[in-house]
């Protein structure tokens, strides 16, 4: 059985981002299934913390099982599930207009909220929240409804995450941040809160649920401004994996600017691929 590199010795929890770390689009990144299994054989608990709000946690289970990575519902902490839990703390059984997909809508419904698809002009004031996530079917009409719910109805504006790109098998596509920025632009209002990474809500939730101390946990991510920043804010070990958005040159550029940037953007370790986490 292989040993982990010295920087990761003694970890009890591995938190994986998904897009760009475990897979790109529908394609498993080479050998990641075996690496995750090796971690489990070393008694390392493996969970997943994704900013992608488009699918439900059960759909994530099915996706990973189909990629030869056995998993269960409770292994997933998505920006959609975190948003639903945090919104419920603000107001229960609320009425919400969503720019987003099934993952976000179903997580909100599961927490008792009503997702209003087409509010009438007379009912804009009844919408408590406008919540924005990744939506590949994003339309001008829905943007206009969100604008009017916020400006005319007084709805509060929240977002799942602000990733401007999404790694897919053949490159990058627009991320949720594009939709968030569109709503911000046409309303003149920033989201009151963004629940996904780089906010540490999800990581803190994982640590609390699993009763594992921060110094025994690591996050494997592919973005400094989300995964690494969230991990450092939560006080866990941070590992950049260069199979997604960030490249070696981008990490080096951050390191060269270390005196002028937020130091929390810098990972504790950088790996070309996950294969390198073992000796």
Residues 105 and 186 in one domain: yes
Backbone angles phi, psi at 264, to 5 degrees: -70, -5
* pLDDT per position as a tens digit, 195-221: 999 999 999 999 999 999 999 999 999
What range does the domain containing 184 cover?
Answer: 90-194
Residue appearing with tokens 């130091």: 263
Indicate if 242 and 263 belong to the same structural domain.
yes
Per-residue pLDDT at 25 exceeds 90 = no
* Residue 210, burial from CB neighbour count under 10 angstroms (0-12, 13-18, 19+): middle
- Judged by DSSP in three states, 207 sits in helix
Between CA 131 and CA 99 the distance in angstroms is 6
Number of domains in the chain: 2
Q: What is the pLDDT of residue 167?
A: 82
The pTM of the whole model exceeds 0.85: yes
Return the number of other C-beta atoms located less than 10 Å from residue 78's C-beta. 29
Collect all residues with Cβ–Cβ distance below 8 Å to 272 and sequence separation of at least 6: 241, 242, 243, 248
pLDDT > 90 in the chain, percent = 92
Residues 119, 127: contact at Cβ < 8 Å? yes
Q: What mean pLDDT do residues 253-257 have?
A: 92
- Asked if residue 168 has pLDDT above 90, the reply is no
Query: Residue 121: what pLDDT?
Result: 86
CATH code for position 231: 3.40.50.1000
Do 228 and 187 lie in a common domain? no
Kindly state whether residue 61 falls inside one of the protein's structural domains.
no
Give me the pLDDT at residue 218, please: 98
Q: How far apart are CA 270 and CA 274, in angstroms?
A: 10
- Residues 158, 125 share a domain: yes
């Amino acid at each position: 059985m292989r040993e982990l590199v010295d920087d990761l010795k003694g970890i009890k929890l591995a938190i994986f981002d998904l897009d760009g770390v475990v897979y790109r689009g529908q394609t498993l990144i080479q050998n990641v299934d075996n690496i995750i299994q090796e971690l489990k054989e070393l008694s390392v608990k493996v969970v997943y913390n994704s900013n992608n709000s488009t699918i439900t946690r059960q759909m994530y289970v099915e996706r990973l099982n189909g990629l030869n990575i056995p998993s269960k519902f409770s292994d997933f902490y998505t920006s959609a599930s975190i948003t639903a839990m945090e919104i419920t703390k603000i107001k229960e059984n609320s009425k919400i207009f969503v720019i987003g997909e099934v993952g976000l809508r179903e997580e909100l419904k599961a927490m008792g909220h009503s997702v209003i698809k087409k509010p009438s002009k007379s009912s804009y004031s009844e919408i408590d929240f406008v919540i924005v996530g990744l939506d590949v079917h994003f339309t001008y009409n829905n943007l206009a409804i969100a604008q009017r719910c916020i400006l005319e109805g007084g709805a509060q504006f929240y977002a799942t995450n602000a990733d401007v790109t999404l790694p897919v098998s053949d490159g990058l596509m627009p991320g949720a941040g594009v939709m968030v920025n569109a709503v911000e632009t046409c309303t003149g209002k920033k989201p009151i809160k963004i629940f996904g990474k780089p906010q540490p809500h999800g990581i803190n939730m994982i640590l609390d649920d699993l009763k594992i101390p921060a110094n025994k946990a690591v996050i494997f991510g592919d973005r400094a401004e989300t995964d690494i920043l969230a991990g450092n804010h939560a006080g866990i070990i941070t590992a950049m994996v260069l199979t997604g958005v960030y490249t070696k040159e981008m990490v080096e550029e951050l390191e060269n600017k270390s005196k002028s940037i937020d130091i929390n953007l810098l990972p504790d370790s950088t790996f070309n691929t996950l294969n390198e986490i073992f000796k």
